[in-house]
Structure formats: structure tokens, C-alpha cells
Structure 1
């Protein structure tokens, strides 16, 4: 019995139990096992890794799901309100912008008459004398130039000296030699109208009141004069020029002339004008200033000698500061200046308010250019070829400058009817010195501004023989950047800044200014 008990318990001394491998040395029960025999036999050799859960694929949301996610039907109302608010704000900004544009001050362009837009060209055609006719071809040569003059931008001709050779403008029934001269004038008028050029006859310093009796009373002069006016108007004349010292410069005479003009002024472009040449320092006033359309003024005073640079500068400044606003001016040179200032004075006339009246210039005369080309092609022995080349180049530059100024004036509103501002000028002379201090104001340098809205044209004139640089503190209110429009040397192109600009001797420059970052 005892033996059987020991076998059952397996604890007899000196003997190793059968399951010693499961609980003895080096035995480590597996996880989750009790170390028994059943557990030892059923334990896996490798512990399996749990598989990842399957990823749910993306699927678009249904309408019901979107409504739930967006907050339901209330979210639709919010979006409608936001869209309505956006459009209301947009309409409000548009209305505000329109109101600002409408209410903001802006320049109003006054319609200009044909003489206010035209460039006048003064001719003294001695072509009607026999000697001059043989050299230049007479009136036929002038008629051939008319399309060329029109291409330069000239809009009207002022024919001077036609009636100081014994030919009266009122003797319209002349015979013999006078009849031939009258026929030439009529031919010139007809060809001018074909070329699109207006014509103004110069009656300055002519006896327009006719013969007078012993008592000094005119013998019905108005009938003869008015008959002659009708005759010339029928021939295509667009106006008449008189002097302020003529007897015809009176309200009575001009009222009679206006009555005749109305008969031929059916359209605005056909309107006839009266031009008064101002020969005195002060123009005699008329109670009715509308009787005169244009007052022609001289920039330089008459002088038997050439004016110095300082005298020219003083005359220009005086003309710029004594302008009258109630009459339409037409500027001409008048006095004598050196050849170096010829181009500068042309730039001045073409950029001043009013209608420029340019005197005959052989540099832009087509017949002169043709004769120059013919002479150079034949190789004249009297002058070297370099002289011909220089003359040809000078004439080419003169035509280029004239064309540039006339076209700029025709297309730029600021140069046509823009405001005028005379600018005080301080300059510093560039004499290869290191001094940066500005010198006292110099009358040799003048400047003015032509403005229309936000567009500004700056005209700089260096009348003196020295190089001048602009003072950086000069005219701080105007823009500093701009582009060159034209210059007397026709050698300035592209963008520029006033801080680095230097004026060459006897140079005039036209600059179109613009604000920083603007290219209007």
C-alpha cells in the first residue's frame, strides 16, 4: 500500500519526476500556459501577428450626408445671405467709383475753331516780280510746294506783300500787267484750297478807307471795300490781316466786315476771320473784342541789330508774363536774333498757348532742298563736298524738328489748349567744377509748363552759351521722370529724369512728364 502511494505521488527520494522537464531547470512556461503537460503539447511554435483591420475605401457623400455635414437647410440660407452680401458690396463699390469719376474735377475741352488749331505760315512771295519769277518759276513753283507744306502740318498761309507793288486789293477790274498779277493770285488761292490750306490776305498798312475829300471825309469807302471783300471771299480767301495802327481797326469798320463774313460763313470750317497785327506795346482796346479773332504778337522787339542772348531772354520772359486771356494770340518772332537761337525760338512758338505764325524758312523750303541736291550731285567747284553735306544735314534736321513740333502740337491736348504755368528757374553752371551749390537765378534759362489734366509738358529754354544743369530742389511739385518729345538738336530720345538733365548752349527741350510708375 505504501508502495503504491509513492508511485501515485511520484515523490520517492532519489528519483527524478517524469515531468521535471516542464518545471525544472531552464524551463520557462509559454505565455498564457500553466506549465502542465497539456499546455506544453498545445503551445504553438510561432506566435501569429494580428492582421491589420481593412481600410475603408473613400466614397462620395450623398445629398443627405452633405446636408447633414453642412448643417442642414439652415446652411443654405447662410450661403444665400453671403452671396447677396457680396453682390451688394460689389454694386456699392461700382457706384462709389462712378460717383468719384463724375464728381471729380476734370478739364473740359472747349471746341477749337480752325484758326485756333492751325499753324500759320507767313509768305512774302516776291514770286510775282519778273526777276524772281525767272529764278524760282514764279507762282507755279509755289503752288507745287503747297502739298508739301500741308504735309509738314501747316494749316494756313498768310500772304504778305501782294499789294505793295502798285496793286490794290480793291481794284478787282484791273487790266494789263495788274490783271496778270491778279490772275496769278487767283490761281494760288485755287491751288491752296485744293491742298487743304486756308489763306489769309495781308492788308496791313494799306489804305482801306479809299480816297477822301478835302475835309477828310471818305467818299463812300465802305461800298468799294465791301465789294472787294466779297470778291476775295468768293475766290476762297479765309481771312484778312490788318495792323492795329490802320484806320480799318475800328468798331465801325469791323462790324461792316463781320456783316460780309456772315454771308460766306455757313459752316464752322468756312468761318472767316480778322487777324490784327500788334505793332505797339499795348493793343488799343475795342469795346467789342469779338470783332477780332486773332491778335498776332511778336516775341522779340524790333531792332536794327541782332539781339544778345540776355536781351532775347528778357524779351521772352516779358512775353510769357504779359499774356492776355481774353484774346486768342498768334506768336511770331518779329525781331532779329542770332542764327544759334533760331531753333530755340521755333520751339518756343510751337509750344506757347495760341496759334504759331512761322515766317518763311528756307531750311524747310522744298525748292531749296531740291536745288541743294542738284548742286551736290553736279559737284560744284565753288564749295567743297563737306559743305554740301553739312547743309544737307542741317536742312534735314530743320525739317525733322519742324515736323516733330507740329505733329506733337496737333495730337497733344496739353499743347493745344492746356493751361500755362511760368516756372521760376534756378540753375547751376557746369564749368567742370566740383561746386554743387546752385548759382543765382539766370535769365538765360527759362521754363514753363503746359498741363491738361494729369498730362504735363515741360519746356526748357537755355538761351545762353553755357551748359546748365537743373537744381535738384527746383520745382519740387512737378514729376521728376518723363520722356523726351523733341529738342533743337533732335538728339534726345527715350526716358529721362530731371535730376540728371543738362541743357546744352542755345538748346530747347520738350519733355512729357509722368508720375512714378505711370506711363500715360
Structure 2
């Protein structure tokens, strides 16, 4: 064995005697030392040079790190080269070509697009149904209670409330006529002021019935005093219009069509002052006479009894055919012209719904008497008492009369039907002021088409007879408008015609006392 001296930390500063054997041992020690790269990266110490284990320092010269880009002179020199000049011109030309192309495309689209048909002149009485309260005592507890019922009325989407007559007069005695004084049994002027205030806040206009001799045999007394009565009506009309009423209604317009100087009392339909309505009622006239009366009188809206006196489908269609062009001056009702409920002429709930559908889709303003919205039945010639709180369910455990509860539920169903039709008419331009085209009719049925410009088209078909009717709905071959092969059910009283189902127009079958409203889109 060779002798050797161990290399220890304590001998670092001690001179060693180097022998051949010791040189070999020193090499072994150096080989046994771990390279810095193989040192464990524990972070507990630092490697030679003060760097942490595993970290690497790369020194980059300051000349290499600094980047200043091109100078202005260099940029100008590059930008002026032929290649960049050509590139800029190409991009500029492409931009303007694209812009001109888009402009030309927009012009072509505008030119080729179908023109929108101008909306006809509409007044507030053309925008929704009118609701008549001829007997405030039967409607509620007199005029004082009417404001409490306006929320209920507003849900029906009515545009006008027609009150009265309410003035003081004795039957057939013109000397007792006082058109400016409210009958104390009806209410007070303060009640009227409250009705006006609350109705206007809800967007409901209020019309006052000033029919002079409303309790007697003739609405205008006699021809001997006609001129004096007309003058009294004009003075009273100005009085009530100044108080805030939005219109005046008079009966038997045909007796004095040219006597009323209404133009001086009407306002302009502007943002500050909407036009005042003169509403006249006529009974027992033909469609031709009604058309002449509309053109010859100063009335803005004329309500007739044509639907009541003409019960045949052909007669009703003929009336619509001759009057539809005057629809913004015409009002329709079944019983409304006589101040009676619809139920007097439509005895069943099915017929009440059918005629509500008819009135809401005909060209013109629908007019209803109070109670028509629930199918209130008349009892003789006496005004029926209005039924309220029909949606209130009986308390749990309470004794319930099955007949009364079934009647209540029927009232609710008819009212919901009424509300849906009123809402639909207000939203659809074809129903609100659209064109009219008659389709097939029979003794107890009729059908017609309503359309407006690019809006959905609607077809009304009703059968008030006692037998099933099958209608073939088609337009004359000479007509420019064409009907599709089928249409979709919008609303229906017939259980066999479900909503959203498709019906072929060449075979629309309606059960007795049923009606349907079909629709199809505009196709261009």
C-alpha cells in the first residue's frame, strides 16, 4: 500500500507533500465532486459566482438590445420607391371601387324594394272599439261609481266611452229640455269631471249623448221645433266640449243631416288638440242611403242598424261591398244603434262570440253596449244589471251554486275572447284599416278578406245558421290578388278548427253557430 494524506477542509491551507500516489488520489477527489449542472436545485444555497442553483445569466451587449427603427429620412426614402407607390395606388383604387359598389348596391335595393302603402288618415275613433253606457245605474251605482270601473274597461282596449243621455227633460215636452243640466237621478257634474280626468289618463276618450228627446217618441220632438232644438244642441255641444268631452253623439241623424254646424266646434287632430267627434245614429236606412248620408252630413262617424235589420248573409255582404270604402266614417253594432245589448239578437253564447268576431274584423269601428264583453243577457226591454268580479273564485269550503258558478266561468271565457279580438284588431293593420274583399256567402253565412300592403292577410268566415256550412273561399279570376291554397287558424269558436292548424281554403267547414279567423302571410 502506498501512504497518502487525506484531503480535508482543515488541510486546505496546509502545504502537502505530493507524491505519485497522492496525485492519483487528488484526481479521484476531483472526479467525485459533482458538477455544478448536476447539483440538486434545492434553493438552499448559491453556486459559484453568487448565482442561485438552476439560474442562467445571459449577457446581451447593449448594441444588440437597442432598436431605434428607421429614421424619418430612411422612411421617406423607402416610401418613395416605385414598389410602394404602386401598392398605395392599388389599395386606394380598391377602396373607392368597393365604396362605389356598396353605394350602387344600396341604390338598387331601394329602387327595387316594394313601395310601402301610405297609412290612411286615422282618428282616435278609428283605432279601437267604442263602449256605450246608456244607463249608469244599471252599469254600476250611477255616475259616481263609473270611475271605479275604468280599469276594467281599459283592459278591453276600448278607445272611446259613450255616456248617456244624462240631461234633464220630460218625455215629448220640449219646454222642459235643459241640455246643460245633468239629471240628479243620474249623478252630478263633479262625477262627470272625475270620469273625464281618469278616462283621459288611461287614453280613453269620452263622448256625451245629447239626443234631445231620448225619453219620448221622437228624438227631435217635432218638426215644428226642430230648428230651435238644433240650436240648443249646438250651444250645449260647445258647452260640454269646452268642459273636456271629446265628442257628441245624437240619434236619428237623418232627421237633421245638414242642420248642425259642426265644423265650427271641431278641433284639429294635432298633438295639442285632437279632433272632436260628432257621432250620429241612423235606423231603418239602406246601404245606399247610408252612404249618401255619410257624404252629405257633417257627422264624422255614423252608426247604423244594418246588421240588425239584415239577417241574411247575402244582404250583409252586399252592404259591406257598397260601404267598405267609407269604413273610417262607419260604425257597426248589433243592438248598439238601438242602445240594447248584443244578446237580444244573439241569444246563445256561441252566437255572441261569433258576432264579436264579425264586428272586430269588419271594415269600420265596432260599437258595443256595456255587458256585451261578457255576453250579458237582457231581461225583456229593461237594461240588465252589469255583473262584476266575475274572475273572483269562490272561497275554499264555501257553498257554491253550480249553475251560478258555470255562468260566471262562461262570462270569463267570453270576456277573454272579447279582449283577444280587441287586442288583435289594434295590432294588425289589415284589420285596423285594411282593404276589403268579399268571398263566399249564403243565407246564414258569409266570408271576406282583409289585407293591407305587406302585412298578414286575414279571412273571416262565420256561420250563424242551424246547419253545417262548407265554404269555398276564392277571389274572382280577374282580381289581382291571389289566395293561397291554405291558411292558418288564428282564432276559432269551432272546436274542430284548432288554433295554428292549417285549413284548405277550397273547403272550410263550419259547424252551426261557429266562426273562424284565418291568416296567411304576404308573399310579394
Q: TM-score, normalized by length of structure 2?
A: 0.64
Aligned positions of 1:104-119 closer than 5 A = 104-119=114-129
Q: Distance in 2 between matches of 1:283 and 1:506?
A: 29
State the 1:420 CA deviation: 0.5
Q: Distance in 1 between matches of 2:169 and 2:230?
A: 23
Change (3 A) 1:250 1:459: closer
- Which residue, out of 348, 353, 370, partners 2:389? 370
Report the counterpart of residue 457 of structure 1 in structure 2.
458
Deviations 1:130-183 (A, max 9, x none): xx59xx4333433211121112101111123434764977353679x4695555
Q: Which 10-residue stretch deviates more, 330-339 or 269-278? A: 330-339
Q: Distance in 2 between matches of 1:321 and 1:445?
A: 15
Q: Distance in 2 between matches of 1:200 and 1:497?
A: 42
Instruction: Confirm whether residue 492 of structure 1 aligns to residue 501 of structure 2.
Output: no
Q: How many residues are treated as equivalent by the alignment?
A: 404
Instruction: Confirm whether residue 142 of structure 1 aligns to residue 146 of structure 2.
Output: yes
Report the counterpart of residue 478 of structure 1 in structure 2.
483
- Which residue, out of 421, 424, 432, partners 2:437? 421
Deviations 1:381-413 (A, max 9, x none): 7x4x2x234223312221111111111111111
Report the counterpart of residue 230 of structure 1 in structure 2.
238
Residue pair 2:294, 2:302 contacting (<8 A) in 1 also:
no
Change (3 A) 1:88 1:450: same
Residue pair 1:122, 1:159 contacting (<8 A) in 2 also:
yes
State the 1:217 CA deviation: 6.8
Change (3 A) 1:184 1:400: same
Three-state SS of the structure 2 residue aligned to 1:291 is coil
Three-state SS of the structure 2 residue aligned to 1:152 is coil
Report the counterpart of residue 319 of structure 1 in structure 2.
319
Change (3 A) 1:268 1:190: closer
Report the counterpart of residue 424 of structure 2 in structure 1.
408
Change (3 A) 1:169 1:330: farther
Q: Distance in 1 between matches of 2:297 and 2:168?
A: 29
Report the counterpart of residue 446 of structure 2 in structure 1.
446
Residue pair 1:240, 1:275 contacting (<8 A) in 2 also:
yes
State the 1:330 CA deviation: 0.7
Residue pair 1:299, 1:315 contacting (<8 A) in 2 also:
no
Gaps of 5+ in 1: 1-73, 426-441
Change (3 A) 1:169 1:374: farther
Report the counterpart of residue 341 of structure 1 in structure 2.
351
Q: Distance in 2 between matches of 1:218 and 1:497?
A: 56
Three-state SS of the structure 1 residue aligned to 2:260 is helix
Three-state SS of the structure 2 residue aligned to 1:110 is coil
Change (3 A) 1:421 1:471: closer
Q: Distance in 1 between matches of 2:443 and 2:105?
A: 52
Q: Distance in 1 between matches of 2:371 and 2:186?
A: 29
Report the counterpart of residue 48 of structure 1 in structure 2.
none
Residue pair 1:209, 1:218 contacting (<8 A) in 2 also:
no
Change (3 A) 1:451 1:507: same
Three-state SS of the structure 1 residue aligned to 2:180 is coil
Report the counterpart of residue 60 of structure 2 in structure 1.
none
Report the counterpart of residue 258 of structure 1 in structure 2.
263
Q: Distance in 2 between matches of 1:145 and 1:234?
A: 25
Deviations 1:194-227 (A, max 9, x none): 4432111223363999999xx9477966764444
Three-state SS of the structure 1 residue aligned to 2:323 is coil
State the 1:353 CA deviation: 1.3
Three-state SS of the structure 1 residue aligned to 2:158 is coil
Gaps of 5+ in 2: 1-85, 336-343, 377-384
- Which residue, out of 156, 167, 179, partners 1:152? 156
State the 1:488 CA deviation: 2.9
Residue pair 1:363, 1:399 contacting (<8 A) in 2 also:
yes
Please provide the CA RMSD for this pair: 4.3
State the 1:423 CA deviation: 1.1
Q: Which 10-residue stretch deviates more, 481-490 or 452-461? A: 481-490
- Which residue, out of 208, 227, 231, partners 1:201? 208
Aligned positions of 1:299-314 closer than 5 A = 299-302=306-309, 311-314=311-314
Instruction: Confirm whether residue 511 of structure 1 aligns to residue 521 of structure 2.
Output: no
Report the counterpart of residue 4 of structure 2 in structure 1.
none
Instruction: Confirm whether residue 100 of structure 1 aligns to residue 105 of structure 2.
Output: no
Three-state SS of the structure 2 residue aligned to 1:296 is strand
